[in-house]
Amino acid sequence: MSVLTEAPAAASAAATPLPPALSPGRLAWRRFRRHRLGFYSLILFGLLFVLSLGAELIANDRPLLARYGGQLHAPLLHNPPETAFGGDFETPTDFHDPFIQRQFEQPGNWALFPPIRFHHSSINYFAPEPHPSGPSASNWLGTDDRGRDVAARLLYGFRLSVLFALALTAVGVLLGVLAGAIQGYYGGRVDLVGQRFIEVWGSMPELYLLIIFSALFEPGLLLLLVLLSLFGWMGLSDYVRAEFLRNRQLDYVRAARAMGLSNWQIMRRHILPNSLTPVVTFLPFRMSAAILALTALDFLGLGVPPGTPSLGELLAQGKNNLDAWWISLGTFAVLVLTLLLLTFMGDGLRDALDPRKVQR
Amino acid sequence: MSAPLLQVRALSVAFAGLEVVHGIDFELAAGERLALVGESGSGKTVSALSLLRLLPEAEVGGSALLQGRDLLRLSERELRGVRGDEVACIFQEPMTALNPLYTVGNQIGEILTLKKGLSARQAEARIVELLAATGMPEPERRARAYPHQLSGGQRQRAMIAMALASEPRLLIADEPTTALDASLRTQMLELLGTLQQRLGMALLLITHDLHLVRQFADRVLVLERGHLVEQGPVAQVFEQAQHPYTRKLLGSRPKRDFGPPPPLPEAPPVLRARQLAVAYEVPRPGLAGWFRRGRFEAVRGVEFELPPGRTLGVVGESGSGKSTLALAALGLLRHQGELQIMGEAWGEPGMGPARANTPRLRRLRRQVQVVFQDPFSSLSPRLNIEQIVGEGLLVHEPHLSVPQRRERVLQALREVGLLPESGPQAELLRWLQRYPHEFSGGQRQRIAIARALIVQPRLLVLDEPTSALDVTVQQQVLELLLRLQREHHLSYLLITHDLDVIWALAHQVLVLQSGAVVEQGSAEQVLQLPQHPYTQSLVQACAPLCPRTGP
């Protein structure tokens, strides 16, 4: 009987050049790249985020570089007093002052300004109309009711929203994965207690707690982050718990236990990497939820302290100044774009990680 | 001869542009039993299901005339009339093929009212009739049962009743008995046979099990990678197979390939059980379950000794406690009684292994390793081969450097025949970086064996090591296991329901029925002269298929 063994087949396969090995993660990344909308959304979102990280270089009332009387200044980093530019006072220079601007028009002096000549907190005292003033050559998207440039505030507000969402998502994922992993891996009584705790915790009136706490404490981003994190981990932990419950009884986990690996090693090396699909899929959606939460709280005046550039605060201004359409329109556009990009990324990720998709 | 019931011409099936069935032709006469045989991936299920266009992503070509109407050209609406009416299907896994939210009677009744236009009252009587025809005990009561309340065999009967409800002219049975135990298998086949004769249906049986075919079918089609390589009457194909692939399939049943075992050296047993019992806690029904938990004894009173270099086969049907015994031997379950590995107990008497990983337990774990049934769930999909195979060394020999570990991994993979003895180093390293999904079932099983062997255990627990593999691959894995046993003087605890595998590997046999040992002895003695009625029924269930002769 000539039974062909598999070994020669394997041997010949090993002898011919192999294509590079593809990990499941890399395969998913390939599928994600093939998802045009999601992939380009990621690129665009990344670009916007990187740009907003350098917001000081784009929107600032101080020049990036300035040359005055043969001396080079970098007012962006260190703002010299007005006296350095021929002024009379020892106060920090206001580059919108017509006197200072005239000084820089003299031969040999120049200043390199960022594209938007306003910081999020700087007030345009030299606007031609009363505030809020409409779009003009100096304020591209107009000013808000305190005379601050809307474009600058949107840029800084976007940065703040995204950073806040990233932090909130990171903390939520960390807590959620930890709680879900422990419940799912140990099961039994641990799981029972954990689930009951989550039910009790989840039925706390989150919004009222926020209102109460914002009255008790100094409102601030950190307080918001802590409060929202306290409640933001539960949805995710349920998914992770279910994945752990499913994976812990698979044969490869049993084999690892028979091998003598510790519980911690099994969770980290074996179960966690196989349980991350829901976590990764939900990341963009959680980010957009976090952005929305921050915006909503700011809109209600429960969020960031006054003066902080925030999309919600701008929306509230838009509501209070309905005739100043540029405030609401600009904020609305930024919010919609951000949330849409995140949703498209989420769709792409979901498709890329869908186990039912044909492996190609 | 009258025109055939079903006439298939140049049937081809493609998924996303990749053709998997390459133009097969066959005919099926009314009342004929035709078997479609092949290994996994040969396209047998795909070809049969695409006749009814049940695979939405498949691009189907060719023609399939059912009494002159081309099934592949019918509109979706006309096809719905054919499905479940003229052609019915039975699937492999009856648990997933029945809707868990409806009673069995409901699901059969749906077909009767939809396809046959019966009133609810008429349907009710007919449901009971149908269930009774499939040999279902207490058909009136079972009609009101939900699928989870039925046993595997009863569910399969319900599936058959459902398929027969519309009195089809053609019944497509996709691996109808694979999920069933050996003794049930024969019953189901007999049932299908009698029903088929009584109703005059044609039957298209899809299976990988050649012995089923020999017992049951009139004609057989052999598929290899989407090509029809041989067809003809069963007797002719089995006696004078023309195509090498058919001959390979026929020749690949497990053989007992070792002589009488050499006399035992004076050595302590590798595994010893005395009055071993394993009990699970189960919730009690009702209010009592809030305070006390019930106990279910999965295994009780098991005693055996497994000397070095020998194989103990544990046979039993599903639910007989054989997998529980395997987990207990691995030290993964609490147990009562005595269970010793190389003279050292897993835990304190009556305690079972503690969960904590003490150094003593880790040392013991190294002696006992495991190979599971399903090569797809036994390897973590996110680790590459080097990580999977080398993991044991991380735990038990943490002092090894990375190159030393890699050398050991390569050595283990060579030992299981997955790697050539020599090759360019770069290629071998590339090979190590592959992930499990890039390997076939047989290769994955070799990887699982390499993972177990790398820590140099004394005892391997083999939990149905070959039942998820194709017959030809199965034979290779069995040969590999025999060779490894000879070379390393390993002991095997072999858990299986397949007497063929027992016959091919085991020196001693232990037969379990509902947790208790009913028969125990040498393989020859138990399989050739079974004493207990249960063992006799097991051996009988596969006796016509497997004539066993001593070596």
Q: Are strands B368-371 and B336-341 parallel, antiparallel or unpaired?
A: unpaired
> Nearest CA to A61 among A161, A144, A153, A132?
A153
ipTM over 0.90 threshold = no
User: Would the CB atoms of B417 and A7 count as touching at under 8 Å?
Assistant: yes
pLDDT at residue B289 in the model:
63
Is residue B259 a contact partner of residue B288, using CB atoms and an 8 Å limit?
A: no
Q: How far is A14 from chain B (nearest CA, A)?
A: 6
| Distance of alpha carbon A117 from alpha carbon A139, whole angstroms | 8
Q: Establish if B380 touches chain A: CB-CB under 8 angstroms.
A: yes
- Which residues on A lie below 8 Å from B455 (Cβ)? 259
Give Cα separations from B462 to B169, B322, B329, B341, B424 (angstroms).
44, 11, 11, 16, 33
| In contact, B449 and B371? CB cutoff 8 Å | yes
User: pLDDT category, A6, cuts 50, 70, 90?
Assistant: very low
Return the structure tokens found at B461. Answer: 């627990």
Contact B450, B488 (CB under 8 A): no
Predicted pLDDT of residue B545: 45
CA–CA distance, B173 with B180 (Å, rounded to integer)? 14
**CB A163, CB A136: distance < 8 Å:** no
Q: What DSSP element (H or E) covers B261?
A: none
A356 to chain B: which residues are within 8 Å by CB? none
What is the band of B492 on the pLDDT scale with cuts at 50, 70, 90?
very high
CB B26 within 8 A of CB B8: yes
B551 close to A (CB below 8 A)? no
pLDDT band for A360, please (50, 70, 90 cuts).
very low
> Of the candidates B362, B440, B451, which has its C-beta nearest A255's C-beta?
B451
B152 or A282, which is more confident: A282
Q: Are strands A110-112 and A65-68 parallel, antiparallel or unpaired?
A: antiparallel
What separation, in Å, do the N-terminal and C-terminal C-alpha atoms of chain B show? Answer: 48
Which pLDDT score is estimated for A69?
80
Confidence at residue B350, expressed as pLDDT on a 0 to 100 scale: 45
**Which residues, at least 6 apart from A177, have a Cβ–Cβ distance to it below 8 Å?**
A236, A237, A240, A272, A279
Q: Quick one: three-class SS letters along B209-234?
A: CHHHHHHHCCEEEEEECCEEEEEEEH
* Nearest CB neighbour to A261, from listed B372, B378, B395: B395
Chain A residue at shortest CA distance from B434? A21
Which of A99-103, A267-271, B417-421 has the highest average model confidence (pLDDT)? A267-271
Longest dimension (CA), chain B: 77
pLDDT digits (tens, 9 = 90+) for B261-285: 666 666 788 888 888 888 877 666 6
Residue B281 near residue B294 (C-beta atoms within 8 A):
yes
Quick count: other Cβ atoms within 10 Å of Cβ A305?
A: 11
User: Which residue, A8, A334, A359, A291, is CA-closest to A152?
Assistant: A334
pLDDT value at residue A15: 41
User: Does the structure show a pLDDT above 70 at B352?
Assistant: no
b/e code B471-487 from CB counts within 10 Å (16+ = b) = bbbbbbbbbbbbebbee
Q: What is the mean pLDDT of chain A?
A: 84
Mean pLDDT along residues A297-311: 86
Please name the residues between 260 and 319 in chain A that touch chain B, using a CB distance below 8 Å.
Answer: 260-263, 265, 269-270, 273-274
Inter-CA distances, A238 with A177, A245, A354, B412, B473, Å: 9, 10, 19, 40, 41
Tokens describing residue B512: 């379990």
Contact A269 B383 (CB under 8 A): yes
Extract the tokens encoding A107: 């031969």
Residue B390 CA to residue B406 CA, distance in Å, equals: 7
pLDDT of residue A357: 55
> SS in 3 state form for B382-421?
CCCHHHHHHHHHHHHCCCCCHHHHHHHHHHHHHHCCCCCC
Q: Indicate if the pLDDT at residue B544 is higher than 50.
A: no
Average pLDDT over residues B530-551: 66
Task: Work out the pLDDT band at B179, boundaries 50, 70, 90.
Answer: low
Confidence at A144, pLDDT banded by 50, 70, 90: confident
The pLDDT of residue A50: 94
Digit-coded pLDDT (tens) for A206-251:
888 888 887 888 878 888 898 889 888 888 899 999 999 988 888 8
- Cα separation of A141 and B365, whole Å? 70
**pTM listed for this prediction:** 0.78
Q: State how far the Cα of B371 lies from the Cα of B530, in Å rounded to an integer.
A: 28
Tens of pLDDT, residue by residue over B380-435, are 888 888 999 999 998 888 899 998 999 999 999 988 888 777 667 777 787 888 88
CB contact under 8 A, B378 and A6: no
How sure is the predictor about A155, in pLDDT bands with cuts at 50, 70 and 90? very high
Q: pLDDT tens digit string along A164-202? A: 999 999 999 999 999 999 999 988 889 999 999 999 998
